[in-house]
Amino acid sequence: MFKKFRMPAVLAMLIIALLGSIGTMAINQFTASHSSYHPMTIPLLSVSNVAMTTDPSGISNPSSNLAPINNFDIAGVGFPCTFVNYTDNSVLCTTATLADINAAHLLEGVPPISLPGNWYSMSTAVQIFTIMNMERTSFGLAPMVGMAAPLDAAAQAGANSGTDPQISGFGFGSIYAEGYVNVLAADFDGMYSDGYGSINLACTTPSSPSCWGHRENILADPSKLGCGSCYLYGGAGFAMLGTTPSYAAILVVSPNPLSLDYAWAGVAASGPLVTGMAATPQGNGYWLVDSVGGISTYGGAQFYGSMLGQSLNQPIAHMVATPDGKGYWLVASDGGVFAIGDAPFYGSTGNLHLNAPVVDIAPTPDGKGYWLVASDGGIFSFGDAPFYGSMGGQHLNKPVVGMGVDAATGGYWLVASDGGIFSFGGAYFFGSTGSLHLNQPILSMAVAPHGSGYWMVASDGGIFAFGGAHYYGSMGGQPLGAPIVEMAVDAATGGYWLAGTNAAVYSFGAPFYGSAGTSQ
């Protein structure tokens, strides 16, 4: 068993069961987090468990520890993750931590992870199991078959007591972690920063067997453990120990099948998260795009193609339609732009090193160019899109999450997750929520016809209208199956639609054309 400690120079990213931990704390407060693990063992038929001293995964470990690109204390960016009950599973924090994992995947030459569509409705324990399996499948390993009640009970006991889960009768590996803001942050630390020189204090020399122990458990391959015909199962648990999140997981190698209380097949069948929405210019329909580039059409929105099945370095973050509605642009979080239908390609940042991930794309009124905006407020102009300024390098209380274009002046607005508005190029400032307390962060904005005002939408479906943007209702205070991630304006009625990460669509002052999730 070993422990890790990290001073909170950043909001440490979290890892769950089978992963290590990282210290995280809010402003002016520090509680050391720690993690430990039990090395993977295998059953010698009816004899006993034997600890393995060699890498149980057969997959090479990184040559050095990786630092997260979204390390949350970059000057001027503020904190994408905030502590709400000492954890943060918001869309904003989840997207930032996932971007770090996928940046590491790019360096290792493995496919990026796209979270399943039901991620936000999962329990923390199921999220732990899910991210471990998604790491496994990304590296070409078979997933765990599922979660089994005895294993969940063992993991929950570990979470409740703050210790490594233990179980008899199986070959197993287990991990305990505490103090993480969410599961994905912990995963990054255990998978990509667990070697010599990291916060893994048990890794005292480059050759120490404790180095990369968390990663090796997560990527354990039964065939490398001498049990190629064995089944792989998982268990996970979560508890709050006072104000400290406590995560535990166990991975079991069994020669016999176990009864499941949660099957991996159900996760795999849920589909990816919806990340964007665009309305037709005529207001007779809308598109939804998911993180792997799949496109869904509703009403009069036509299908012109997608990125489904194509190799992406980072997940798709947003989409916008062309002025005539006969095409659309998709943008990934690395700034890669994909032009589909009659949408021209004017350039991208896909081959550049960015200080922060791209969060939105906005076309010029004539469709002959577009802007990309990153979470640090940096603006990238392509085609006939003029550069009027940015917030790049400036102090931000919260990260930028979206952008809107003023058709009247050609200028643009940027919106931050606290609802702060930044106006450029003649775009008029109609107001903001920057000085207000919000129940949930702002995730997107939409512009009223002719640039007469704008709306902002929060992840709980709350709507904030400014200037000539009319308020038609919201989902604020209503039960949601998943967070709201985007809004789009109906050009015909002036109403709007909201889209959830589970493909649910909510209509206000606009016709409902359908959805793939629970909606209205």
Instruction: Read off the pLDDT of residues 314-331 as tens digits, 9 standing for 90 and up.
Output: 899 999 999 999 999 999
Q: Is 460 found in the same domain as 319?
A: yes
| pLDDT score of 482 more than 80 | yes
- Please give the model's pTM, rounded to 2 decimal places: 0.80
Q: Is 227 found in the same domain as 306?
A: no
Contact indicator for 236, 16 with CB cutoff of 8 Å: yes
Q: What are the Cα distances from residue 50, in Å, to 53, 189, 405?
A: 9, 27, 63
Q: Is 305 found in the same domain as 235?
A: no
Q: Is 366 found in the same domain as 257?
A: no
Task: Quote the pLDDT of residue 73.
Answer: 36
Q: What are the Cα distances from residue 378, in Å, to 202, 221, 335, 389, 414?
A: 40, 43, 12, 9, 10
Section 47-58 average pLDDT: 42
Cα separation, 475 vs 458, whole angstroms = 9
Task: Quote the pLDDT of residue 12.
Answer: 26
Q: Which CATH number covers residue 336?
A: 2.130.10.10
Cα separation, 345 vs 176, whole angstroms = 47
Ranked by mean pLDDT, which of 35-44, 197-206, 215-224, 343-352 comes out on top? Answer: 343-352
Is residue 19 situated within a structural domain? no
Is residue 16 situated within a structural domain? no
Contact indicator for 336, 322 with CB cutoff of 8 Å: no
Q: DSSP letters along 9-21, please?
A: SS---B--TTS--
| pLDDT score of 22 more than 80 | no
Q: Is 291 found in the same domain as 258?
A: no
DSSP lists the bridge partners of residue 297 as: 287
Q: Cα angle at 398 between 395 and 403, to 5 degrees?
A: 95
* Cα Rg of the chain, angstroms: 23
Task: Quote the pLDDT of residue 84.
Answer: 62
Is residue 28 situated within a structural domain? no
Section 470-476 average pLDDT: 97
Residue at a domain's end among 218, 234, 268: 268
Amino acid at 111: P
Task: Quote the pLDDT of residue 70.
Answer: 63
Task: Quote the pLDDT of residue 139.
Answer: 93
What domain range includes position 228? 35-268
Task: Quote the pLDDT of residue 57.
Answer: 63
Crossing angle of the two packed helices 149-161 and 124-138, in degrees rounded to 10:
110
Q: Is 342 found in the same domain as 404?
A: yes
Q: Is 297 found in the same domain as 225?
A: no
| pLDDT score of 46 more than 50 | no
Is residue 317 situated within a structural domain? yes
Is residue 424 situated within a structural domain? yes
Chain length of the chain = 520
Q: What percent of the chain has pLDDT over 90?
A: 54
Q: What are the Cα distances from residue 109, in Å, to 97, 102, 120, 421?
A: 19, 10, 27, 38
Q: What are the Cα distances from residue 197, in Å, to 6, 22, 93?
A: 12, 14, 26
Q: Is 417 found in the same domain as 299?
A: yes
Four-residue CA torsion sign, 252, 258, 263, 265: positive
Cβ-count burial 45-56 (b if 16+ within 10 Å, e if not): eeeebeebeebb
Residue 37 pLDDT class (50, 70, 90 cuts) = low
Is residue 26 situated within a structural domain? no
Section 360-382 average pLDDT: 96
Tally of structural domains, the chain: 2
| pLDDT score of 74 more than 60 | no
Cα separation, 85 vs 491, whole angstroms = 40
**Higher-confidence residue: 93 or 30?**
93
Ranked by mean pLDDT, which of 267-271, 436-440, 474-478, 514-518 comes out on top? Answer: 474-478
Amino acid at 301: A
For residue 309, what are its two tokens?
A: 């099945």
Q: Is 298 found in the same domain as 236?
A: no
Q: Is 181 found in the same domain as 312?
A: no
Residue 449 main-chain phi, psi, to 5 deg: -55, 140
Residue at a domain's end among 268, 288, 321: 268
| pLDDT score of 85 more than 90 | no
Is residue 63 situated within a structural domain? yes
Is residue 420 situated within a structural domain? yes
| pLDDT score of 15 more than 50 | no
Q: Is 283 found in the same domain as 256?
A: no
Tens-digit pLDDT profile for residues 429-468: 999 998 888 888 999 999 998 889 999 999 999 999 999 9
Q: Is 251 found in the same domain as 299?
A: no
Four-residue CA torsion sign, 41, 42, 43, 47: negative
Residue 328 main-chain phi, psi, to 5 deg: -160, 155
| pLDDT score of 18 more than 70 | no
Cα separation, 375 vs 414, whole angstroms = 10
Residue at a domain's end among 220, 245, 268: 268
